[in-house]
Amino acid sequence: MAGKVWFVGAGPGDPDLITVKGRNLLAAAGAILYAGSLVDQAATRFAPAGCTIRDSKDMTLPEMTDWLLEQAARHATVVRLQTGDPGLYGALIEMTRPLTAAGIDWAVVPGVSSALAAAAAAGETLTLPEVTQTVILTRVAGRTPMPPGEDLEALAAHRTTLCIFLSITLLHRVQDALRAAGWAEDAPILVVQKASWPGAEKIVRGTLADIKRKCQTERIAAQAMIIASPTLGAADWPDLARSKLYDPSFSHRFRKASEAKP
């Protein structure tokens, strides 16, 4: 009987940030195909003795699906380990379609995305009452073009939180887009490289005007998340609109509003 292929989110880099389900699957895996240097620690730390472990760094997509098919013929549990969450910039569907076509069962285990790990590293919130209640996960066009209506300038016009993947080498284009959308030169921008990696994480705080220079000084040219958001720095604001959820005059499922207004 053919095995099952699990697409497991490894989280952003710290091996402790994989889910318990993901870790249990690694511990039961007969074969693991992991995505480059970002997640090798989890793959090697949690895999059982005798497990076939392979880095997909130098493989093409068809080579990867062939390998997964081959391993599924031999093992009950095969894991494709991906950085962050498999549903974000992970070529998930390109890999699952050939499995489905070959009659191989597969499933996805979500992971902590680097967008969330970057915010956590910096102690920032991505949403804030009366500031922004929306997060856009996006990138700028590289070799992959952006579909119509999704260029960063158009998205930035909403003034929401923007988590920008795969774009650190194109930071000048991020700056151009935010300027064209009317963001101020002193708008705060956060860049986190290797978020959650023990001993390797770098946090750079800057503004639209100086973030590129600061990243150059810190030599950040890969594996970095760019966050542009009107919420950044809120921990130090003198005046913060109180969250409606904790406001005594606001009822919700678990608590009735108190009569007395503060």
List contacts with ligand SAH (CB under 6 A): 12-13, 38, 82-85, 88-90, 113-114, 117-118, 165-166, 192-197, 223-225
Of the two residues 222 and 257, which places its CB atom closer to ligand SAH in the complex? 222
Minimum Å distance from CB 66 to ligand SAH?
A: 22
DSSP per residue, the chain: ---EEEEEE-BSS-GGGS-HHHHHHHHH-SEEEE-TGGGHHHHHHHSPTT-EEEE-TT--HHHHHHHHHHHHTT-SEEEEEESB-TTSSS-HHHHHHHHHHTT-EEEEE----HHHHHHHHHT--S-BTTTB--EEEEE--SSSPPPTT-SHHHHHTT--EEEEES-GGGHHHHHHHHHHTT--TT-EEEEEESTT-TTT-EEEEEETTTHHHHHHHTT--SSEEEEE-TTTTGGG-S--PPPGGG-TT--BTTBPPPSS--
Minimum Å distance from CB 188 to ligand SAH?
A: 18
Minimum Å distance from CB 242 to ligand SAH?
A: 31
Minimum Å distance from CB 120 to ligand SAH?
A: 11
Of the two residues 90 and 206, which places its CB atom closer to ligand SAH in the complex? 90
Minimum Å distance from CB 215 to ligand SAH?
A: 12
Of the two residues 30 and 177, which places its CB atom closer to ligand SAH in the complex? 177
Of the two residues 75 and 139, which places its CB atom closer to ligand SAH in the complex? 139
Of the two residues 75 and 79, which places its CB atom closer to ligand SAH in the complex? 79
Minimum Å distance from CB 148 to ligand SAH?
A: 22
Of the two residues 118 and 215, which places its CB atom closer to ligand SAH in the complex? 118
